[in-house]
Amino acid sequence: MKYKLLGRSGLRVSEFCLGTMTFGTAWGWGCDEAGCRSQLDLFFGQGGNFIDTSNVYGSGQAEEILGNILTPAQRNSTVLGTKYTDNLPGETAHANSAGNQRKNMVQSLEGSLKRLKTDYVDIFYVHTWDFTTRPEEVLRGLDDLIRQGKILYAGISDAPAWVISRCNELADRMGWSPFVVNQFEYSLVERTPDREIVPMSRALDIGMVAWSPLGGGILTGKYTANKDAGGSRRMDNVPYKTLSERNLTIARALDAVAQEAGCTPSQAALKWMLKKRIIPVIGASSADQLKINLASLDVELSDDQLGQLESASAVELGFPHDFFESAKGFVYAGLFDRIDRHRDDGIGTSADAKQNANFSYTDVMIDSPAQA
């Protein structure tokens, strides 16, 4: 395991982030506390230090389990991120028990700190943009919490690129803490973030963390192998990801690459994402499953194999990206191919975009020892 610098911050996080949506059995599936402890021991033993949770995972049970398990030494060496905004309907729900506003921000954080048995969290994410709270209220509220020492960094999840860009420009102008990490859905079967979210994050030096890196199970090989899709995993029981012909075609291409590389489809899919400089959030139903996914660190994929996955999963970028293809001759007066565009920022020909996607950026990586 190695560490990466998280966006524009100096925070060092592991290549994988351990997801905890499977921690607890309150939702009728997931791991009991003993199973969660086994996952954490394995993750720490391989050098992992980045953990993702939320106030709503397992109706709060995920945070409670982390609070029960993490020793003081482990908490000190762990980069722990949780989220606010969402809340589950119920008897205790009220008008301000969800949303981005400061009232919910503060009361949600206090609840998370109590369940996690800690006096601060390393990263506090806006879980979902609510499109009603003004950016000034959100950013000033988060900055106040940072100044109070209750959170160290602010992150954002599931928001449009224009919202994140506007927020960070405002934060820089006002001297507030910006978002240093952006969490969004991304996988071989969900690459629409390539249109705006990924290039925006790269251009603004915002760390990228991807949830559902295995496409809700589509990229594990279970569907292409015609196995029984039954089970207790979250995405198996919900038609969240359509088993469309396009997605099955991508899964078959992944199977072929995995067979050639001598690994599982899930390992090949995770390795592809690691090469994109995007941190996968890996959740597991057991330590054995987590061990299989972590083994993707040792997988080697050739440039040709990576190219096959890129080609099979690519999405149309749309306007204005496609428009540039026809206009570049005028924009560069016919000299496009003769200009060294070191500030390309991902804008250019399809070939440029593919080169950008194919890992032309330099990672800042630090060898990671096993965590005590």
Catalytic machinery residues: 57
| Interatomic CA distance for residues 311 and 325, integer angstroms | 18
| Interatomic CA distance for residues 185 and 177, integer angstroms | 24
Closest CA to 258 of 299, 223, 210, 314: 299
- Give the ranges where the chain is alpha helix by DSSP (H): 33-45, 61-69, 72-77, 102-116, 135-147, 161-174, 197-203, 245-261, 265-275, 287-294, 303-313, 321-331, 350-357
First to last CA, the chain: 14
- Using the CB atoms, write b or e for 121-156: b if 16+ within 10 Å: bbbbbbbbbbeebebeebbbbbbbbbeeebbbbbbb
Half-sphere exposure of 166 (CA within 13 A, CB side): 10
